[in-house]
Amino acid sequence: MKYEELSKKIIAGVGGKDNVKSVVHCTTRLRFKLKSESAAHTDELKAMDGVITVVQSGGQYQVVIGNDVADVYETLIKVGGFADGGSVPDDDDETERGNVFNRFIDFISGVFTPMLGVLCAAGMIKGFTAMFVAFNWLSENSGTYKILYSIGDGFFYFLPIILGLTAAKKLHVDQFIGMAIGMALCYPGIVALNSSTTVLTTLFSGSMFESQIHATFLGIPVVMMSYTSSVIPIILAVWFASKVQALAKRIIPTVVKTFLVPFVTLLIVVPITFLIIGPVASWLSDGISTVCVMIYNFSPLVAGVVMGAFWQVFVIFGIHWGFVAVMMANVASQGYDTVLGLSLAASFAQTGVVLGILLQTKNEKTRGIALPAFISGIFGVTEPAIYGLTLPRKRPFVLSCIASAVGGGIIGLAGTKMYMMGGMGVFSIPAAINAKTGIDGSVYGLIIAMAVAMVLGFALQMLFGRKSVDAADSKAQVQATEAEPVLAGGPVAATANGGATKIEPEVTYNTATLLSSPETGHVIPLSEVKDEVFSSGAMGKGIAIEPTDGVLYAPADGEIALVFPTGHAVGLNTSDGAEILMHIGMDTVELDGKGFETLVEKGDTVKAGQPLVNFDIEAIQAAGYPVTTPIVVTNSKNYHDVKLAFPNATEVNATEPLLQLN
């Protein structure tokens, strides 16, 4: 598998399979739900080839991959042995930590993410079909039109069934129960009742909740609503089903659970959905739509400027999922949405800035990121541009937000409406076409806004962003030099603790080497180090010392291959060909050099026993960090064995024999 090695590293980086509750992916990110985010090695993941960055937001641990995310996800699922589309059953999921807002965002994204690709595809087909009619390329009476339109419209018409599946999966409900609830809401006989001419009575007369009653259930009036294409009713119904199912499982004997649990769940949930949940949820949807329309009508220009300016910030923190839910509710209740469309210029503003960076940079690696980011941005996928280019440089990101705000304002002035959930980028244009009125000024306004945002983003970057491009590249090169030194056996990448991960070379066995102890203190097996990167042996074989004296010495003659700016880690290439990494403490990179005094620089030639680093044990421990020091032979595979010079040693003095490499 092409991405097998990367997938293994990502799984290890998020704390191992046992730390994963679930993983899904969107257009550019692997979205992990972790049992403990503190167990993940975020810095190591960020430094990993194939990973753009890591974002922790909305209760999710998001590993940004870029355009290859779907292939990486498919491989990761197989490598990790994740079942059920990336989920790991967890009986304690209901008690997960996090505030209400984070849990809401996580839930909404978990419901929509699995179907996002097909959702956009169906919207694109529906939008393009409407466009073909507007251009008189197709007739609404033709078989071609009806078949094409059924592909797009059918998905949205039966959306409650699909949401029933994804919501059930997210809430650990039997997925067929979720689908069955959605099917009941879309059942033709129920749909027909909503438009029945037979009126039994009228409830809530004279109020905004006035409802004609066309049917009863066990004598109780049923307030009929239109549930096809709806969002909130099915989600709330499945949430209620999760409670009923859990209760049924506790009460019903195991021998008959297979059929009685679904029987009881459906028999309770579906009627209550029609009697209470459905009407209340529909009124709630109408209320949300009304509030959004009020805000929009107050000033479409201001609404567009604000939405455009902050949309990319919303994407970074995952808040945009809330707007997706609002958009779906608006389309279901009033046939169109005016909110989400205000964000459609953002990807073009970002793309314009990226084009400027592409023309300005002299760095080949930056060009390698910018070109595909520019192409994907045209189609609405901006995460590679945001995380790989503009956000790290700060000013280009701000410039893109300014251009996006202008574009959003134009969209607001044009009165653009979205009639369906369509594609992204240029593919979102057909979703703004009204199937009845065709292409009008609001659609042209959207296209103009996209063009203006892109041109303005490009111009702002060319005028005001030039200095940040090469400056950022130079800084990145310095950091890469410090974090990815090339030792005799091959390159090394940074770890979570600011150390290094060896990229293994072809094995060539070296001559025997004796290493002296770089510290005075207690000898500890590497397996007992409280950091999986070291304790697992992934870095190589070695030993650890709990120091009692704050000096790190050279364990052999050689050349300094690595000195981290923070002073907590030193790499040494010995004269005999051994590659040694000495890492003072766990997570001590967070101290930013406080408590450390480096006495050597990269490239220095040193002798065995020469002091390399002075460190303040008491100050480091007072800051809450251990000083346990792994001493690792990162090219261990070049030796038959790496063992203690004195197998029973529990204490050692600096410069005394410590490790024997054969």
How many whole angstroms separate alpha carbon 233 and alpha carbon 226?
Answer: 10
Nearest alpha carbon to residue 184 among 265, 259, 113 = 265
Q: Which residue has the tokens 């103009």?
A: 448
Strand, coil or helix: what is 401? helix
Residues 6+ apart with CB under 8 A from 613: 551, 552, 567, 570, 584, 596, 597, 598, 599, 600
How many whole angstroms separate alpha carbon 614 and alpha carbon 608?
Answer: 16
The torsion defined by the Cα of 296, 298, 301 and 304, in degrees rounded to 10, comes to: -30
Q: Which residue has the tokens 């040193």?
A: 606
Nearest alpha carbon to residue 39 among 58, 18, 9, 60 = 18
Query: Which active-site residues does the annotation give?
Result: 26, 583
Q: Are 606 and 558 a contacting pair, CB within 8 Å? A: yes
Q: Are 493 and 483 a contacting pair, CB within 8 Å? A: yes
Residues 6+ apart with CB under 8 A from 272: 240
Task: Please say whether the dihedral angle defined by the alpha carbons of residues 251, 257, 260 and 261, taken in this order, is positive or negative.
Answer: positive
Cα separation values, 437 from 147, 197, 328, 569, 596, Å: 21, 29, 21, 67, 71
How many whole angstroms separate alpha carbon 576 and alpha carbon 459?
Answer: 56
629-633/579-583 β-pairing:
antiparallel
How many whole angstroms separate alpha carbon 123 and alpha carbon 108?
Answer: 19
How many whole angstroms separate alpha carbon 162 and alpha carbon 154?
Answer: 11
Farthest-apart Cα atoms in the chain, separation:
97
Q: Are 304 and 410 a contacting pair, CB within 8 Å? A: yes
How many whole angstroms separate alpha carbon 386 and alpha carbon 64?
Answer: 10
DSSP 213-258: EEEEETTEEEE----TT-SHHHHHHHHHHHHHHHHHHHHS-GGGHH
Task: Pull the structure tokens for residue 566.
Answer: 């923070």
Cα separation values, 274 from 221, 223, 286, 471, Å: 10, 7, 17, 61
558-563/569-574 β-pairing:
antiparallel
Q: Which residue has the tokens 């008189």?
A: 136
